[in-house]
Protein backbone atom coordinates (compact mmCIF):
# COMPACT_ATOMS: atom_id res chain seq x y z
CA UNK A 1 0.00 0.00 0.00
CA UNK A 2 2.89 2.31 0.71
CA UNK A 3 4.28 1.70 -2.78
CA UNK A 4 0.86 2.46 -4.35
CA UNK A 5 0.56 5.81 -2.58
CA UNK A 6 4.09 6.70 -3.61
CA UNK A 7 3.38 5.83 -7.26
CA UNK A 8 0.21 7.91 -7.34
CA UNK A 9 1.98 10.89 -5.79
CA UNK A 10 4.83 10.55 -8.28
CA UNK A 11 2.45 10.67 -11.26
CA UNK A 12 0.55 13.71 -10.01
CA UNK A 13 3.72 15.63 -9.23
CA UNK A 14 5.57 14.87 -12.45
CA UNK A 15 6.67 18.11 -14.11
CA UNK A 16 5.00 20.19 -11.41
CA UNK A 17 8.19 21.38 -9.76
CA UNK A 18 8.87 25.11 -9.77
CA UNK A 19 10.98 26.09 -12.78
CA UNK A 20 10.22 22.96 -14.86
CA UNK A 21 8.57 24.12 -18.13
CA UNK A 22 5.41 22.28 -19.15
CA UNK A 23 3.40 22.75 -22.34
CA UNK A 24 -0.35 23.33 -22.10
CA UNK A 25 -3.26 23.85 -24.44
CA UNK A 26 -6.61 25.49 -23.75
CA UNK A 27 -9.83 26.70 -25.36
CA UNK A 28 -10.50 30.44 -25.38
CA UNK A 29 -13.65 32.48 -25.97
CA UNK A 30 -13.58 36.22 -26.57
CA UNK A 31 -15.64 39.16 -27.73
CA UNK A 32 -13.35 40.77 -30.28
CA UNK A 33 -15.15 44.12 -30.38
CA UNK A 34 -12.58 45.98 -28.30
CA UNK A 35 -9.51 44.08 -29.50
CA UNK A 36 -7.14 44.95 -32.33
CA UNK A 37 -7.09 41.28 -33.28
CA UNK A 38 -5.56 38.19 -31.71
CA UNK A 39 -1.92 38.72 -32.57
CA UNK A 40 0.27 41.01 -30.46
CA UNK A 41 0.42 44.52 -31.93
CA UNK A 42 2.62 47.01 -30.03
CA UNK A 43 0.60 49.79 -28.43
CA UNK A 44 -2.74 48.06 -29.07
CA UNK A 45 -4.98 45.80 -27.02
CA UNK A 46 -4.90 42.26 -28.39
CA UNK A 47 -6.14 38.87 -27.20
CA UNK A 48 -2.66 37.39 -27.30
CA UNK A 49 -1.31 40.32 -25.31
CA UNK A 50 -3.97 40.00 -22.61
CA UNK A 51 -3.40 36.25 -22.29
CA UNK A 52 0.38 36.67 -22.08
CA UNK A 53 0.05 39.38 -19.42
CA UNK A 54 -2.18 37.14 -17.30
CA UNK A 55 0.19 34.20 -17.67
CA UNK A 56 3.20 36.36 -16.74
CA UNK A 57 1.50 37.47 -13.55
CA UNK A 58 1.24 33.82 -12.45
CA UNK A 59 4.98 33.32 -12.74
CA UNK A 60 7.98 35.52 -12.22
CA UNK A 61 6.73 38.28 -14.52
CA UNK A 62 8.55 36.90 -17.55
CA UNK A 63 6.28 36.92 -20.61
CA UNK A 64 5.68 33.49 -22.15
CA UNK A 65 4.42 33.41 -25.72
CA UNK A 66 0.83 32.29 -26.28
CA UNK A 67 0.19 30.71 -29.69
CA UNK A 68 -3.23 30.55 -31.32
CA UNK A 69 -4.82 28.25 -33.92
CA UNK A 70 -6.27 31.27 -35.73
CA UNK A 71 -4.95 34.82 -35.95
CA UNK A 72 -8.30 36.59 -35.93
CA UNK A 73 -8.34 40.21 -37.04
CA UNK A 74 -9.62 43.31 -35.25
CA UNK A 75 -13.28 42.98 -34.30
CA UNK A 76 -13.47 39.22 -34.99
CA UNK A 77 -14.73 37.01 -32.16
CA UNK A 78 -14.05 33.43 -31.09
CA UNK A 79 -16.10 30.87 -29.20
CA UNK A 80 -13.55 28.07 -29.52
CA UNK A 81 -10.07 29.39 -30.20
CA UNK A 82 -7.26 26.97 -29.28
CA UNK A 83 -4.07 28.25 -27.67
CA UNK A 84 -0.77 26.69 -26.63
CA UNK A 85 1.62 28.04 -23.99
CA UNK A 86 4.47 27.06 -21.69
CA UNK A 87 4.18 27.36 -17.91
CA UNK A 88 6.93 26.64 -15.37
CA UNK A 89 5.02 27.11 -12.11
CA UNK A 90 3.66 24.53 -9.65
CA UNK A 91 -0.08 24.79 -10.41
CA UNK A 92 -1.89 21.73 -11.72
CA UNK A 93 -3.98 21.83 -14.91
CA UNK A 94 -7.22 22.61 -13.09
CA UNK A 95 -5.74 25.20 -10.75
CA UNK A 96 -3.84 26.83 -13.58
CA UNK A 97 -7.03 27.21 -15.60
CA UNK A 98 -8.89 28.78 -12.69
CA UNK A 99 -6.05 31.14 -11.81
CA UNK A 100 -5.54 32.24 -15.39
CA UNK A 101 -9.24 32.82 -16.00
CA UNK A 102 -9.53 34.88 -12.80
CA UNK A 103 -6.90 37.30 -14.15
CA UNK A 104 -8.56 37.84 -17.53
CA UNK A 105 -10.87 40.77 -18.39
CA UNK A 106 -14.63 40.23 -18.87
CA UNK A 107 -14.36 39.91 -22.67
CA UNK A 108 -11.99 36.89 -22.56
CA UNK A 109 -12.32 33.53 -20.86
CA UNK A 110 -10.19 30.40 -20.87
CA UNK A 111 -11.34 26.82 -20.28
CA UNK A 112 -10.28 23.19 -20.71
CA UNK A 113 -6.65 23.81 -19.76
CA UNK A 114 -4.69 20.56 -20.09
CA UNK A 115 -1.18 19.26 -20.64
CA UNK A 116 0.06 19.10 -24.22
CA UNK A 117 3.07 17.45 -25.85
CA UNK A 118 6.30 19.43 -25.81
CA UNK A 119 6.44 21.64 -28.89
CA UNK A 120 2.64 21.68 -29.33
CA UNK A 121 1.69 24.42 -31.83
CA UNK A 122 -2.07 24.88 -32.36
CA UNK A 123 -1.66 26.38 -35.84
CA UNK A 124 -0.04 23.19 -37.08
CA UNK A 125 -2.06 20.79 -34.93
CA UNK A 126 -5.43 22.12 -36.15
CA UNK A 127 -7.02 19.80 -38.72
CA UNK A 128 -10.23 21.73 -39.28
CA UNK A 129 -11.47 25.25 -38.57
CA UNK A 130 -14.98 26.59 -38.81
CA UNK A 131 -16.01 30.24 -38.90
CA UNK A 132 -19.54 31.56 -38.54
CA UNK A 133 -20.78 34.83 -39.97
CA UNK A 134 -23.99 36.15 -38.40
CA UNK A 135 -26.51 38.44 -40.09
CA UNK A 136 -29.48 40.10 -38.39
CA UNK A 137 -32.01 40.26 -41.22
CA UNK A 138 -34.51 42.54 -39.57
CA UNK A 139 -35.11 46.04 -38.20
CA UNK A 140 -32.26 47.88 -36.54
CA UNK A 141 -31.21 46.16 -33.31
CA UNK A 142 -28.31 47.69 -31.35
CA UNK A 143 -27.91 44.64 -29.12
CA UNK A 144 -28.00 42.00 -31.86
CA UNK A 145 -25.86 44.02 -34.22
CA UNK A 146 -22.94 44.26 -31.82
CA UNK A 147 -21.86 40.85 -33.12
CA UNK A 148 -23.90 40.63 -36.32
CA UNK A 149 -24.28 42.55 -39.57
CA UNK A 150 -27.64 44.27 -39.95
CA UNK A 151 -29.34 43.75 -43.33
CA UNK A 152 -32.79 45.30 -43.67
CA UNK A 153 -33.87 43.81 -47.02
CA UNK A 154 -35.09 40.16 -46.91
CA UNK A 155 -32.45 37.63 -47.96
CA UNK A 156 -33.04 34.60 -50.17
CA UNK A 157 -31.17 32.07 -48.05
CA UNK A 158 -31.97 29.18 -50.41
CA UNK A 159 -30.19 31.00 -53.25
CA UNK A 160 -27.30 31.78 -50.88
CA UNK A 161 -26.99 28.10 -49.98
CA UNK A 162 -26.86 27.08 -53.64
CA UNK A 163 -24.19 29.67 -54.36
CA UNK A 164 -22.24 28.62 -51.27
CA UNK A 165 -21.87 25.11 -52.67
CA UNK A 166 -19.66 26.62 -55.41
CA UNK A 167 -16.91 27.13 -52.81
CA UNK A 168 -16.91 23.54 -51.54
CA UNK A 169 -13.89 21.49 -52.60
CA UNK A 170 -10.25 22.19 -53.32
CA UNK A 171 -9.89 25.46 -55.23
CA UNK A 172 -7.51 28.31 -55.82
CA UNK A 173 -9.04 31.08 -53.67
CA UNK A 174 -6.78 33.90 -54.84
CA UNK A 175 -9.88 35.87 -55.89
CA UNK A 176 -11.24 35.70 -52.33
CA UNK A 177 -8.20 36.19 -50.12
CA UNK A 178 -4.83 37.81 -49.66
CA UNK A 179 -1.90 36.46 -51.69
CA UNK A 180 0.24 33.80 -50.06
CA UNK A 181 2.81 31.17 -51.01
CA UNK A 182 -0.12 29.02 -52.09
CA UNK A 183 -3.71 30.20 -52.44
CA UNK A 184 -5.18 26.72 -52.79
CA UNK A 185 -7.47 25.73 -49.93
CA UNK A 186 -9.95 22.93 -49.26
CA UNK A 187 -13.39 24.11 -48.14
CA UNK A 188 -15.27 21.20 -46.60
CA UNK A 189 -18.60 22.83 -45.89
CA UNK A 190 -20.67 25.97 -46.43
CA UNK A 191 -24.00 26.10 -44.58
CA UNK A 192 -26.54 28.91 -44.78
CA UNK A 193 -29.34 28.77 -42.24
CA UNK A 194 -32.18 30.99 -41.10
CA UNK A 195 -33.84 31.01 -37.71
CA UNK A 196 -36.43 33.75 -37.70
CA UNK A 197 -34.54 36.89 -38.63
CA UNK A 198 -31.17 35.48 -37.74
CA UNK A 199 -29.13 34.20 -40.70
CA UNK A 200 -25.87 32.29 -40.16
CA UNK A 201 -23.23 31.32 -42.71
CA UNK A 202 -20.84 28.60 -41.49
CA UNK A 203 -17.68 27.92 -43.49
CA UNK A 204 -15.40 25.02 -42.59
CA UNK A 205 -11.99 24.35 -44.12
CA UNK A 206 -8.53 22.99 -43.43
CA UNK A 207 -7.22 26.57 -43.38
CA UNK A 208 -8.08 29.99 -44.79
CA UNK A 209 -6.46 32.86 -46.60
CA UNK A 210 -6.55 36.23 -44.90
CA UNK A 211 -9.96 37.84 -45.46
CA UNK A 212 -11.33 34.76 -47.22
CA UNK A 213 -14.52 34.16 -45.22
CA UNK A 214 -15.57 37.81 -45.15
CA UNK A 215 -15.14 38.09 -48.92
CA UNK A 216 -17.08 34.89 -49.50
CA UNK A 217 -19.92 36.14 -47.29
CA UNK A 218 -20.01 39.51 -49.08
CA UNK A 219 -20.67 37.71 -52.35
CA UNK A 220 -23.27 35.37 -50.83
CA UNK A 221 -25.17 38.38 -49.49
CA UNK A 222 -25.26 39.83 -52.99
CA UNK A 223 -26.79 36.55 -54.13
CA UNK A 224 -29.31 36.73 -51.28
CA UNK A 225 -30.29 40.23 -52.42
CA UNK A 226 -30.87 38.98 -55.97
CA UNK A 227 -27.98 40.94 -57.47
CA UNK A 228 -26.09 37.88 -58.78
CA UNK A 229 -26.43 34.11 -59.07
CA UNK A 230 -24.28 31.06 -58.47
CA UNK A 231 -22.90 31.14 -62.02
CA UNK A 232 -21.53 34.62 -61.33
CA UNK A 233 -19.92 33.32 -58.13
CA UNK A 234 -18.40 30.39 -60.03
CA UNK A 235 -16.91 32.74 -62.62
CA UNK A 236 -15.52 35.01 -59.89
CA UNK A 237 -13.85 32.06 -58.15
CA UNK A 238 -12.11 31.14 -61.39
CA UNK A 239 -11.04 34.73 -62.08
CA UNK A 240 -7.44 35.92 -61.82
CA UNK A 241 -8.03 39.08 -59.76
CA UNK A 242 -9.87 40.06 -56.55
CA UNK A 243 -13.54 39.12 -56.85
CA UNK A 244 -15.81 42.16 -57.01
CA UNK A 245 -12.93 44.51 -56.15
CA UNK A 246 -12.20 42.64 -52.92
CA UNK A 247 -15.53 43.51 -51.28
CA UNK A 248 -15.76 42.16 -47.72
CA UNK A 249 -18.33 42.30 -44.93
CA UNK A 250 -17.48 43.95 -41.57
CA UNK A 251 -15.48 41.95 -39.04
CA UNK A 252 -18.05 42.23 -36.24
CA UNK A 253 -20.22 39.42 -37.61
CA UNK A 254 -17.38 36.89 -37.82
CA UNK A 255 -16.58 34.31 -35.15
CA UNK A 256 -14.05 31.47 -34.99
CA UNK A 257 -16.57 28.85 -33.98
CA UNK A 258 -14.65 25.61 -33.85
CA UNK A 259 -11.10 24.24 -34.08
CA UNK A 260 -10.61 20.50 -34.44
CA UNK A 261 -7.17 19.22 -33.49
CA UNK A 262 -5.38 16.20 -34.89
CA UNK A 263 -3.67 17.03 -38.17
CA UNK A 264 -3.32 14.09 -40.53
CA UNK A 265 -0.49 13.42 -43.00
CA UNK A 266 -1.05 15.35 -46.21
CA UNK A 267 -3.23 18.04 -44.66
CA UNK A 268 -2.47 21.70 -45.41
CA UNK A 269 0.07 23.31 -43.08
CA UNK A 270 -2.45 25.66 -41.50
CA UNK A 271 -0.10 28.62 -41.40
CA UNK A 272 -2.58 31.16 -42.75
CA UNK A 273 -5.89 31.99 -41.19
CA UNK A 274 -8.94 34.11 -41.76
CA UNK A 275 -8.26 37.40 -39.99
Active site residues: 73
DSSP string, 68-122: ES----TT-EEEEEEEEEEE-SS--HHHHHHHHHHHS-TTEEEEEEEE--TT--H
b/e per residue, 186-198, with b = 16+ CB within 10 A?
bbeebebeeeeee
Number of other CB atoms surrounding residue 42 within 10 Å = 6
Torsional sign, CA 82, 87, 93, 96: negative
CA angle 86, 91, 95 (to 5 degrees): 105
Bridge partners (DSSP) listed for residue 18: none
35 near 239, Cβ under 8 Å? no
Q: What is the DSSP letter of 17?
A: S
Bridge partners (DSSP) listed for residue 66: 85
b/e per residue, 217-230, with b = 16+ CB within 10 A?
bbbbbbbbeeebeb
Measure the CA–CA gap between 135 and 119, rounded to whole angstroms: 39
Bridge partners (DSSP) listed for residue 71: none
**What separation in angstroms does the CA of 103 have from each of 40, 63, 92, 106?**
18, 15, 17, 10
Amino acid sequence: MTRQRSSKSSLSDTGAREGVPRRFRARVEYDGTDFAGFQVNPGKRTVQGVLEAALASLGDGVTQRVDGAGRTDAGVHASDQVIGFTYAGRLTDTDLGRALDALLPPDVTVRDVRRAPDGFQPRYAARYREYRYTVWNGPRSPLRERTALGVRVPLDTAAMARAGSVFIGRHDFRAFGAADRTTVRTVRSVRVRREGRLVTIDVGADSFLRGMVRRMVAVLLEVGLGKMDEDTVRAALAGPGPAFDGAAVPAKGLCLRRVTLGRRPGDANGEDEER
